[in-house]
Structure 1
Amino acid sequence: MGGHGRWDDDDEEDLTGDEDFRGSFREELSRTLNLETWAEGLDLQAIMQRYREEIGGAMRKEDQLRSVIRQELLPKLKTRLKAPEGAGLYRMSPEELSAIHDGLLFAGQVEAVNGISVTHETLPLDITQLGIAAIGYGGSAGTFSQRLFRREVTVDAPDPYQEAAAYIEMRQNRSHPGRNGPDSLSRLARRGIRAYAERAILVEKLKAEWRMGQGNPITHELITGSGYTGLLTASLGMLTRLMEEHPRFVFVSARMEDRGFLTMGHALDAGEFVILESMERAGRDILEGWQYDTDGLVLAREFVKKYCHQVVMGLFRASNNAPPRIFYAHVKHAHMAACVAIADSVLRPEQGFPMLLDVAEATCRSAFGEDGFQGLVQDAYAQADVRLQYFNGRKPRR
């Protein structure tokens, strides 16, 4: 989450006008669009020289900014207005690192949950396969215990005659994810079900003292129910159990796009972390920005009021060669949560991201990846004797 309004890892930064463009790219938009300013061909020497100048200048500027942040901003975290309990800068000691490795991680007292989803979309129906892995260490950094969970979710047209006329518009909606409609809602529901399943497995299936997940524990899809009353009710009940029965948790985001947090994070040294803010304001933003029904609003408001201030967000850096990461934890256990995340992340210093989460994702991709899923779908179509007319063909460029 970046700032106070970001709740998932897929949000994108928006540019709101030509002034924003000029501030970000250091030239007028009209100059960028003028093809006369574009070079023809591929002059590698000129390209490399410009990159050296740009990168070198940026690094010198970043080093200066880093020094200012460490001297002037980080010391103010504890005393700023509405700072959460425990706010401030901390450093993990080598003794703490060793104790967590031996007493928690390699002793099997930390388990992580991560998942993937793959979808096959056709005119008759959409099939989504959700795969989730729960991973812990089996005594050392190179051995793991694992459990796999799998579920298919199918969306089809309840009234094929009525839906047939709407499919052209539905396909257009799929090309514009920001539009409202039944198709965009089903996509939101799939994300919500995946987020729910990851956290429900963490709450109900794991036995370890510490539990680790990816993203934000109280993500937008769950606080809103993704538009479904049943999902909202189940999600808030499950998150209540997480907060009350299993508060020793840490969630780590895979990406960080907020440049303010990124700059602050790069000011940290290896083994340092900061606790920044609670999720109280972000929870209120969710309530104000989502259209609930009356009962759903009451449920969501009660949860946000009771629990969002108990979840804090912070930054940690496991290695000077890796980017900083955002983490979320219960306010009463935030210090240890950051240390657990750092201790698992130093096992892969080039990534600076918890190894358990990486292994869980890799396990899911191996067991539930797109190639295997599409193979099963193609076999089912072949058995139904409809050949391949409902397949989309080649994958789009990324």
Structure 2
Amino acid sequence: MGGHRRFDDDDDEELTGDEDFRGSFREDLERTLNLETWAEGLDLQVIMQRYKEEIGGAMRKEDQLRSIIRQELLPRLQTRDNAPQGAGLYHLSPEQLADIHSGLLFAGQVEAVNGISVTHETLPLDITQLGITAIGYGGSAGTFSQRLFRREVTVDAPDPYKEALSYIEMRQNRSHPGRRGPDSLSRLARRGIRAYAERAILVEKLKAPWRMGQGNPFTQELITGSGYTGLLKASLGMLERLMNDHPRFVFVSARMEDRGFLTMGHALDAGEFVILESMKQAGEDILDGWQYDIKERKRARRFVDAYSHKVVKGLFRASNNAPPRIFYAHIDHAHMAACVAIADSVLRPEQGFPMLLDVAEATCRSAFGADGFEGLVQDAYAQADARLQYFNGRKPRR
């Protein structure tokens, strides 16, 4: 095992106080908890009226904010302090869009990688299936899969009583929400391995000059190794190859992260993009927020110093009917990367997200999705034990 993170948990939102609750929901927490303020039954007319008022008011405020950002903030991006090379607001013309469609996308010069993971958890065994698809408009470049079996650590105790107690204590610690144990590290490992595999396939298996992925190329799971020395070493070496050998890449995020930047993105019109900042500060934040050992910190520090300033973050909007998207690209190819992302996203203007990434994910779900996975697991459990005593058929509520 390598370094480990601090005691804060990325899986849980930071706990805040009553004042923050009042500021966010415009009412006191005490009132929300008072059952006298809760409606009995389902009065659809009252509910819809409240929804209309809240949604309408929120949209009016966003429209006002959009106007201010477009008039006052976007024109200053290029000249602000510490602006990266190429910062500013740009527009993709219909002629440029057509050229990218014919010359790159439909000519098979762009390939994308996307993946999914599904996990089945029981007391004696957790099974995780990772599936990844590489695809271009010329056809599939391949599907790849891996399965992880998380077994309980063997307790070697001569006393059966102590052995039983050890298993009970280990499993209780694993599930305790306030403690960080093997289970939380295994979740980090699953996310880290999937992120690594997607980017490694993009680097090693694709042939097209332009390559597309989902998320942040320098995601925290890779820069930290998710607590595993082997993953850290493999990830940094793979990302170095990405930067040096395949700098024509674009990564697009599908998550509602960086909400401040997304607020700025709603001020964009269809076909526009902005270059915002380099990943230099983000790299420093990862280094500061993780507890590495000395050797790992030096390795991560060398990588961040060498490459974080060469990746930029930006925003694009493919359609006025779709939300803006955050993208990441090599600083030397960021403008064309944004154009490629927009050109692929306009093929489905209601989504405004690259179609190649969606097709890759859909292919993954068809081959490696939850339904087929659960069916195989259930069949295996039935063959191992007809009583299915360890199989939990109920899904947890969200």
Q: Is the 8 A contact 1:111 1:210 kept in 2?
A: yes
**Structure 1 residues 60-71: aligned runs within 5 Å:** 60-71=60-71
Q: Is the 8 A contact 2:134 2:360 kept in 1?
A: yes
Q: Distance in 2 between matches of 1:35 and 1:179?
A: 33
Aligned to 1:204: 204
Aligned to 2:119: 119
Change (3 A) 1:45 1:211: same
Is structure 2 residue 147 aligned with structure 1 residue 152?
yes
Aligned to 1:131: 131
**Structure 1 residues 1-398: aligned runs within 5 Å:** 14=14, 16-138=16-138, 144-161=139-156, 165-172=165-172, 175=175, 179-385=179-385, 387-398=387-398
The 10-residue stretch of structure 1 (104-113 or 166-175) with the greater mean CA deviation from structure 2: 166-175
The 10-residue stretch of structure 1 (346-355 or 175-184) with the greater mean CA deviation from structure 2: 175-184
Q: Distance in 2 between matches of 1:159 and 1:13?
A: 34
RMSD: 1.9
Q: Distance in 1 between matches of 2:242 and 2:223?
A: 14
Change (3 A) 1:261 1:13: farther
Shift of the alpha carbon at 1:130?
0.9
Aligned to 2:5: none
Change (3 A) 1:118 1:165: farther
Q: Is the 8 A contact 2:84 2:276 kept in 1?
A: yes
Q: Is the 8 A contact 2:262 2:326 kept in 1?
A: no
Change (3 A) 1:277 1:166: farther
Change (3 A) 1:344 1:11: farther
Cα deviation, 1:61-114, whole Å, max 9, x if unaligned, reads: 221111110010111111111111111111111111101100010111111101
Q: Which amino acid aligns with 2:37?
A: T
Change (3 A) 1:201 1:165: farther
Q: Is the 8 A contact 2:174 2:181 kept in 1?
A: no
Q: Which amino acid aligns with 1:192?
A: G
Q: Is the 8 A contact 2:155 2:167 kept in 1?
A: no
Structure 2 spans left out of the alignment, 5+ residues: 1-9, 158-162
| Count of aligned residue pairs for this structure pair | 384
Q: Distance in 1 between matches of 2:358 and 2:319?
A: 16
Q: Is the 8 A contact 1:213 1:252 kept in 2?
A: yes
Shift of the alpha carbon at 1:157?
2.8
Shift of the alpha carbon at 1:392?
1.6
Q: Is the 8 A contact 1:256 1:326 kept in 2?
A: no
Change (3 A) 1:107 1:31: same
Q: Which amino acid aligns with 1:377?
A: V
The 10-residue stretch of structure 1 (384-393 or 92-101) with the greater mean CA deviation from structure 2: 384-393
Q: Distance in 2 between matches of 1:99 and 1:350?
A: 22
Q: Which amino acid aligns with 2:392?
A: N
Q: Is the 8 A contact 1:15 1:21 kept in 2?
A: no
Q: Is the 8 A contact 1:173 1:184 kept in 2?
A: no
Q: Which amino acid aligns with 2:147?
A: E
Change (3 A) 1:316 1:172: farther
Q: Distance in 2 between matches of 1:173 and 1:135?
A: 42
Secondary structure of the structure 2 residue equivalent to 1:77: helix
Q: Which amino acid aligns with 1:72?
A: E
Shift of the alpha carbon at 1:151?
1.1
Cα deviation, 1:268-327, whole Å, max 9, x if unaligned, reads: 111111111111111111111111111111100000010011111111111111111111
Question: What is the percent sequence identity of the aligned residues?
Answer: 83
Q: Which amino acid aligns with 1:137?
A: Y
Shift of the alpha carbon at 1:377?
2.1
Q: Distance in 2 between matches of 1:365 and 1:178?
A: 33
Shift of the alpha carbon at 1:329?
0.6
Structure 1 spans left out of the alignment, 5+ residues: 1-9, 139-143
Q: Which amino acid aligns with 1:328?
A: Y
Cα deviation, 1:333-374, whole Å, max 9, x if unaligned, reads: 111111111111111111111111111111111100112112
Q: Which amino acid aligns with 2:359?
A: V
Q: Which amino acid aligns with 2:261?
A: F
Cα deviation, 1:238-281, whole Å, max 9, x if unaligned, reads: 00000000010011111124332221111111111111111111
Shift of the alpha carbon at 1:121?
2.1
Q: Which amino acid aligns with 1:270?
A: A
Q: Is the 8 A contact 1:108 1:136 kept in 2?
A: yes
Cα deviation, 1:22-77, whole Å, max 9, x if unaligned, reads: 22112222222222222222222222222222222222222111111001011111
Q: TM-score, normalised by structure 2?
A: 0.91
Q: Which amino acid aligns with 2:107?
A: A
Q: Which amino acid aligns with 1:148?
A: T
Secondary structure of the structure 1 residue equivalent to 2:291: coil
Shift of the alpha carbon at 1:172?
4.5
Q: Is the 8 A contact 1:74 1:89 kept in 2?
A: yes
Secondary structure of the structure 2 residue equivalent to 1:78: helix
Shift of the alpha carbon at 1:233?
0.4
Change (3 A) 1:66 1:129: same
Q: Distance in 2 between matches of 1:113 and 1:178?
A: 36
Q: Distance in 2 between matches of 1:387 and 1:102?
A: 58
Q: Is the 8 A contact 2:113 2:132 kept in 1?
A: yes
